[in-house]
Amino acid sequence: MITTQGFTREAVNFADDEDIKLVVLREFDESDWEGKIKEIHLSINLLLISTPEISFLPANDIEKDKAIRAMNGEIISRQETNAKESYFYDSTGNKLGTFQDILSPIINRLERIAGEETKGEYLFDDVQHVDVNGVLVGMKGFNYSFSSYTIEEKSVIGVGEKIGLLLLKYIDGSQEKIIFDTDISKWAFEEDGKVVEKYKKC
């Protein structure tokens, strides 16, 4: 049972006896925000790294010579590679996974210190082969380097631009509901006075 004026003691006693919920509907006041969460401010600090630089380590002198011959004797100091399209292979040429599949979990486990460069060497459990100009060269591991930095992401979760118009409050204190302008705008009156959702109105 809903009213905008309140209930008499007799009505309250009767509702208690009959297990009827009594509700007051009134205009919303800013003081009604007290004890309620209006906004949540989130601040997230992310520790990120630059694109790692990887230098593969040939498994032995034989593999090193194979790599040099494959590059026609030229030593390339730096080359960009698409980690999603470059693969590691076994000794017979079967794909084991992309650079990203295998290297990312390793890099992600390494220590990161904001504002500092991280360098080191990582050795594979088993020799991995990479394609060097069409020649499979066995690699025992790689040297790595990357820089770490932080960024801060801030956001606000709340009611936004919505305006509280009405407060629906059970007089036994069991429940309260704020009715916003956007809630009311969803409804319309039919010719017979029935209230319906706008998108269902014929």
pLDDT of residue 181: 64
76: Cβ–Cβ under 8 A, 6 or more apart, which residues? none
| pLDDT above 60: residue 101 | yes
Report DSSP letters for 112-161, one per residue.
Answer: --TT-EEEEEEEEEEEEEEEETTEEEEEEEEEEEEEEEEEEEEEEEE-TT
DSSP tag of 190: -
The per-residue pLDDT for range 187-202, each reduced to its tens digit, is 666 776 665 666 554 4
Q: Provide the whole-model pTM.
A: 0.57
62: Cβ–Cβ under 8 A, 6 or more apart, which residues? none
Q: Where are the domains of the chain?
A: 2-38+161-200, 45-154
What is the C-alpha separation between 85 and 10, in angstroms, rounded? 78
Q: Which residue has the tokens 């009604």?
A: 32
What is the C-alpha separation between 75 and 65, in angstroms, rounded? 11
Q: Which of 85, 108, 88, 107 is nearest to 97 (CA)?
A: 88
In angstroms, the Cα distances linking 39 to 36, 183, 201 are 9, 18, 34
- Stronger pLDDT, 56 or 157, i.e. the higher one: 56
